[in-house]
Chains A and B, each alone.
Chain A
Amino acid sequence: MKWRPLLSLLLVGLMAWCWGSAAWIHLKAQLAQQLIARAWDSTLAGDTRTKPWPWADTWPVARLQVEDQDLYVLAGAQGNSLAFGPGHLMDSALPGEGLTVIGGHRDTHFRFLRDLTPGQRLHMQTAAGELLSYRITHLEVVDVRNQPLLVEPDAQGLLLVTCYPFDSLDANGPLRLLVWAEPDAGYGLIL
């Protein structure tokens, strides 16, 4: 009978495609950060909107450090940026200019959010090279369907957003984990 090898082939194909694309998501997330590092250096040197690779439609706007995590934050919190790094929500303020909202994928860059606790410090470097420190005030889980994200125009601080729960299979779930951090005078060193 012919269906057996056909089914095998199909399953091998499916497996390769699924694992391949899952691996690609993670690989992209890791590799892109390396490329962005170079773009960030030239941003610090005075360039604006330096694209990490020629066809990119995003550019690094900040560098975020938490514990052993060191991430470059990209402009825009849509799919095209989030695949390569945490994304700065364009409607929110830039770091140091108000309340900055940064989103990241729970499977890749922002997986570490689940280990954060209130009181921990976050460090941020702005495109102008300025170093900022934040202290986590609290974490909360919200349902996007009935809890809009409302922010005072003159609020200060940092808000990290990722999907919740971390091990969910649903890529379009309604829950988000919010990590609120306030500006902290404590000075943090960025490498």
Chain B
Amino acid sequence: MCFHRRRIPRHLLLEAPANRFNYGRALKWFLLLIMAVMLAVVASVAKARAYQEEHYVPGRETSSSALYTSGSGHLYLRGSEGGLGSALHHESEAQVTIKGMLAKVVLRQTFENNSNEWVEGIYVFPLGETAAVNHMVMEVGERRILAQITEKQEAERMYQEARREGRRAALTEQQRPNLFTQSIANIAPGEVVTIELHFHEAVSYADNTFRWRLPTSLTPRYIPGAPLSEESLQLPINGWSLPTDQVPDAHRITPFMDVSKALDAPPLVNRLEKPRNPIRIQLRLDAGLPLAEIRGSYHQLRLHKNGDVHSVTTVPEMVSMDRDFEISWKTPAGQSPDAAFFTEEVKGEDYGLLMVLPPQQALQQRLPREVIFIIDTSGSMSGTSIRQARQSLLMALERLQSTDRFNVIEFNSEHFPLFDQPRYAGSRELKAARRFVEKLEARGGTEMAAALQTAMASPAPEGYLKQLVFITDGSVGNETALLQMIHQQLGDARLFTVGIGSAPNSFFMRKAAEFGRGTFTFVGSQQEVGEKMQALFSKLETPVLSNLKIEWPLGLNAEVWPKKLPDLYQGEPLLVSVKFEGKLPPGSQIRLSGEQAGQTWSRDLLLTPANSKRPAAGVSLRWARAKIEALLDEKTRGRHEDEVRAQVLQLALEHQLVSPYTSLVAVEEIASRPQGEGLNTEPVANLLPHGQTLQALSYPQTATAAGLQMLMGMLAFFGLLLLRFHSRLRRARAEIRAPLLMLCEGEQQP
């Protein structure tokens, strides 16, 4: 056995030194290579740093961020010709009194001119879509100037005249039922002007919960159509959009937005600063019922009980106007009211507000359905909205059964259906739908019409109930045209709207559901998705209450609005306003009847006012407002505008209501601004609704591992070379060793 290594005598090796591979040197080479690679990496990083420093612009004042103004941290999306409107500081205060089902709100908007020049302030603000605005006072120092209700054009003329002559003036106009403009002319340098607005609204009641909502900001609306030609433009333009052929008043409904809150950039926005566009909300809730729960949907509330009245404020007291305020209250289980009647006497005539919750059985019978989900993926849905929308839609898909048919249509600037035709909800189809929904991203415009048309186009097969579920924030400026389309093309289908986001266009969503004989569900935050969608599902799956009728006592002349009672879904009450000719005789009885799933039912009700001692203020205004709304709906359905206008005008003037044809205007008698001095127009910016990340885009990940892999390959290659050298060395050694082995063998032979 000669395999144990033997020391080879040195002199025998002298023959082969040339072949000897130097291990140490190879290692050095290898190390050198690694060093070189590392050096190259370091150098490229250093180069990048140098480039960055050279091209770095402090604050990134690039073309993309004309957003930033210097200093104060006041950020505006776009300036007007008069510069960025930071001269007017604005804050609001709402004093709300809720009695039973009626809310009275005194909204005080304070504008402070902190520039050295005379200023005209223009503020576009949202209110609830059923708000009846009937009173406005302009307060300058000690003086209070009461506004008059005036025909819209005449009001505008009075305001412009005062504005020119240097007299202080204030004008409140309605642009949409839920969107108003406040203009204040001739605010002196350093002066504070307060506008006090009064409005009345009915509280909403559904699914055993009362809710009242105060919108504070608006989601920028999408304006479809082509801009109108230059000549037809009426200056000044105080919105970010020019009028278009489809939305001729676009510039009036597109106020500038203040995005400072939307930027999550700590060095730029001081978070400790008091909220911008702050509002203080003080609410007195006199529900007239024992309460089990009071909740703020999007704000933390502080409650104080005083007899039957709860005083409510937000915590902190001043909050940013970047999301709607909503308060909800509930009675203890089993004690929720199923009917209420409120009356008010005005000029010898009785007005009433009637709420009835009809008896509804949760029927187990399921009709096969064809559900078309229409989901808005426009830019205004970006941020938290699209996540809520996706989540809502995924929940809805879960509820489908294999006998149901469905389709999903996504729309932004264009629309894309999931399937060409609605399909049965088999597991494969649902899987495809889930994948489709999970990948939805928000961008682009809001071209609703085509998507709705596609959804409405094909009738459902025989025996199927066609339901459209429309998930959107409703941020469009062409509401009326869309409502007309829904009215004309919906056929037998029913349209359910789901409002998403911190500040959706509730006027459009509610009206669309009304014209579509469905319901409006509002989802304001991620936490609400589950609860609100469950409520919607039970509405979708339970037969509707239809053919509702009220029989009034014989000989009693009652003018009821809405005239045609709507169909009611699970948990929804009937809410009607009525005007009686003369007095309502005590002990009057009415009969309410209806139909559910082919069965008729009726119920007798004694009209006993819930507020027999004190009349409920606002009942008459609600009646007038309901009538105006019904008249405007008739216009949407095709009635001639002149007829509608005449009726609305008369009604609005009689009840002192702001409407599309009437405005509130207050003018001072004496001029304040010297004729020599100019007047700047300052649009007051609204806060971008909470959760909107319209501005913040994420960077794409734009490198591959190709470079690294090339290098790794290179290293492997060098390793291989090294190994080759190594084996060659071994071979060389073996060659030398061979004769020795022979020698060795010879020696060991016995």
Contact = CB atoms under 8 A, between A and B. Distances in A.
B444 interface: yes
A173 B705 CA distance: 11
Contacts of A110: 702
Interface in B426-465: 439, 441-445
Contacts of B720: 8, 11-12, 15
Contacts of A141: 48, 51-52, 55-56
Contacts of A173: 703
Contact of A149 (B220, B414, B697, B711): B697
Interface in A67-112: 76-79, 82-83, 87, 89-94, 97, 99, 101, 103-108, 110
Nearest to B53: A141
Contact of A94 (B52, B240, B444, B723): B444
Contacts of A93: 379, 443-444
B52 A168 contact: no
Contacts of B709: 18-19, 21-22, 25
Interface in B57-71: 57, 60, 62-67
A87 B699 CA distance: 11
A48 B441 CA distance: 17
A141 B413 CA distance: 32
A78 B700 CA distance: 7
Contacts of A153: 77, 220, 379, 694-695
Interface in B662-717: 694-713, 716-717
B639 to A, nearest CB: 37
Contacts of A143: 52
Interface in A127-181: 137-144, 147-155, 157, 159, 161-173, 175-176, 180
B33 interface: no
A167 to B, nearest CB: 4
B60 A142 contact: yes
A22 B64 contact: no
A18 B714 CA distance: 9
B89 interface: no
Given A148-B696, A168-B41, A169-B711, A175 B52 contact: yes
B60 A91 contact: no
Nearest to B76: A152
Given A148-B696, A151-B64, A167 B40 contact: yes
B63 A180 contact: yes
B44 A103 contact: no
A14 B716 contact: yes
A147 B723 CA distance: 48
Contacts of B382: 91
Contacts of A104: 702
Given A91-B697, A167-B44, A152 B719 contact: no
Contact of B41 (A103, A139, A169): A169
Contacts of B51: 141, 164-165
Contact of B77 (A89, A154, A170): A154
A25 B707 CA distance: 10
Contact of A172 (B62, B443, B703, B710): B703
B264 interface: yes
B78 A15 contact: no
A89 B700 CA distance: 7
Interface residues of A, number: 76
Contacts of B62: 138, 140, 180
B707 A144 contact: no
Contacts of B265: 148, 150
B727 interface: yes
Interface in A15-59: 15, 17-19, 21-22, 25-26, 48-49, 57
A91 B443 contact: yes
A90 B413 contact: no
Given A8-B723, A78-B700, A89-B700, A180 B711 contact: no
A191 interface: no
A185 interface: no
Given A103-B702, A141-B52, A141-B56, A18 B63 contact: no
A167 B707 CA distance: 7
Given A11-B716, A150-B696, A151-B695, A82 B702 contact: yes
A6 to B, nearest CB: 11
Nearest to B717: A15
B263 interface: yes
A176 B699 contact: yes
Contacts of B264: 148
A19 B709 CA distance: 6
A154 B240 contact: yes
Given A89-B697, A97-B444, A165-B48, A22 B77 contact: no
A107 B704 contact: yes
Contacts of A2: none
Contact of A152 (B41, B48, B78, B414): B78
A97 to B, nearest CB: 7
B298 interface: no
Interface string B552-593: 000000000000000000000000000000000000000000
B419 interface: no
Contacts of B698: 89, 91, 149
Contacts of B717: 11, 15
Nearest to A147: B60
Nearest to A83: B704
Contacts of A144: 699
Contacts of A147: 60
B695 A150 contact: yes
Interface string B77-95: 1100000000000000000
Given A168-B41, A168-B703, A92 B697 contact: yes
Interface centre among A78, A97, A138, A165 (most CB of B within 10 A): A165
A182 interface: yes
Interface in B93-110: none
Q: Which 5 residue pairs are nearest across A and B when measured between Cβ atoms?
A: A103-B700, A18-B713, A77-B700, A165-B48, A15-B716
Given A154-B77, A155-B63, 9 more contacts: A11-B723, A89-B697, A91-B698, A107-B703, A140-B56, A161-B700, A164-B51, A175-B48, A175-B52
21 contacts: A4-B727, A18-B709, A18-B712, A21-B705, A22-B705, A22-B709, A83-B704, A91-B442, A93-B444, A106-B703, A148-B696, A151-B695, A152-B77, A153-B77, A154-B78, A154-B240, A161-B700, A163-B703, A170-B708, A173-B703, A175-B48
